[in-house]
Amino acid sequence: MKKQIHLNAFEMNCPGHLAHGLWAHPEDERTRYKDLTYWLELAQLLEKGKFDALFLADVLGVYDVYGNGNDPAIRRGVQIPANDPMMIIPAMATVTQHLGFALTASTTYEQPFAFARRMSTLDHLTKGRIAWNVVTSTLRSAANNHGLDKPVGHDDRYEVADEFLKVCYKLWEQSWEDDAVVKDWDNHLYTDPDKVHFIDHKGKYFSVAGPHLSEPSPQRTPLLYQAGTSAKGSEFAAKHAECVFIGGHRPDVIRRDVEEIRRKAVAFGRQPEQVKTYGLLTVVTGRTKEEAERKFADYSSYFSEEGALLHYSANTGYDLSAYSDDEYLEYVPTDHGQSLAALFTKDAVKPQTVGEIKKALSSIGSRGLLIVGDPEEVADRMEQWMVETGLDGFNLTQVVTPGTLQDFIELVIPILQQRGIYRREYGTESTLRQRLFGGQDGKLPAEHRAIHISRRELGHDAIPQSK
């Protein structure tokens, strides 16, 4: 059987995600993001296209690095206004049976006890279709919104995140035994208290007694996504992530990052096939190449260069407004996103001036892989990149909503199906983890760090008695 392509739709609960300025296009419906029917329609469209999941990004502050101010992002609608992504998931789950939902949430500002309960609740309500995109927050404005004068340092954020997950693992995997819920109607016994355990976690950043307030959900631990290819980020992904989102537009660099993540995963005692990798992909297609190119030219006339520059500046910590166009941008580690900082610097084929970088960023799809062409060409390039990069699939972005996805589902999906590299129907898997990795129960594999932590610190020989 040929290697199957996995697809997520990459979205955000706001009027402008990555195609900056396209909210103003007459065919775009993104400004309906406050309308619940917008999300219900999107979920049904994705299920029609047999997508694995809707991947929801999020941000906790305003992009304020470019020009050292908030006004440009607010003026252009660059991921502001932005609503909470968690709220829309239960409603979308009611109109779908198979589509998964990957929620972005930050370990920098959440509290693990409350967060673990919310994720268990979502896993119950979706019948095991929930995933968590684990992120650490970089924005100064996000730090200010959470009572800090400045962001937590890059490496320190990952240290916090590691302990955050450790707490969640204890709550999800070992606080409740599988058969704790009895539902003995005759004896009025709902739960056996001897099978519900305090975790009594006392660490550097968190102190959590437990027990977990939710009974075990279908997956227990939600499917784990992560995006990060810096030294610390890739190590974190190799320890924890089941799905890794890898940015960039050079197949050779993407392959390097894919291989590095898998090599590190093996070093942590995991199997390389226990990590799925996804690239960022933008597709503009039509029934002919000429039609696709006309669409791309039309869409490009609405694209906001300023929006792209301020988004890049916020993600990297490099304020592009502070450079002249003829200066060369050199890679300097910051407390922001290091992999994106490397995109036009140390990962570039040759040194680039700020003017060249601005020109590159002023195009739709500049931060990832881009295909503009007829359906056969799109399918060809996707197959080619799967081979060249070692990726397992793609996070597909929209340019015009919902037209980009409608075109892809109507025109490209049938070709991928004919080639035997994309599912024709969903299988009988009951959880999102089973769809991606197989298995009988939808739970984490025995090699995963969460299971090691549970066995070592909360193994049955050491589980404290219920209090």
Kindly state the average pLDDT of the residues 130-151. 91
* Of the candidates 243, 239, 245, 240, the residue with the CA atom closest to the CA atom of residue 267: 239
Of the pLDDT bands very low, low, confident and very high (cuts 50, 70, 90), residue 457 is: low
Residue 116 phi/psi, 5° resolution? Answer: -60, -40
Q: How many Cα atoms sit within 13 Å of 447 on the Cβ side?
A: 15
* Percent of the chain whose predicted confidence (pLDDT) is above 90: 73
Residue 464 has pLDDT above 50, yes or no: no
pLDDT of residue 112: 98
Measured CA to CA, the distance from residue 185 to residue 355 in angstroms comes to 72
Residue 338: count other Cβ atoms within 10 Å of its Cβ: 22
pLDDT of residue 462: 38
* Of the candidates 450, 436, 452, the residue with the CA atom closest to the CA atom of residue 7: 436
Least confident of 242-251, 256-265, 340-349: 340-349
pLDDT of residue 337: 65
| pLDDT per position as a tens digit, 372-403 | 999 999 999 999 999 999 999 999 999 999 99
Pick the residue with more confidence: 273 or 360? 273
Residue 395: count other Cβ atoms within 10 Å of its Cβ: 26
Measured CA to CA, the distance from residue 78 to residue 63 in angstroms comes to 8
pTM of this structure: 0.93
pLDDT of residue 68: 79
| pLDDT per position as a tens digit, 263-293 | 999 999 999 999 999 999 999 999 999 999 9
Measured CA to CA, the distance from residue 63 to residue 394 in angstroms comes to 26
Of the pLDDT bands very low, low, confident and very high (cuts 50, 70, 90), residue 330 is: confident
Residue 460 has pLDDT above 60, yes or no: no
> CB–CB of 278/393 below 8 Å?
yes
Least confident of 155-164, 272-281, 319-328, 392-401: 319-328
C-alpha separations of 204 from 161, 164, 457 in Å: 12, 10, 16
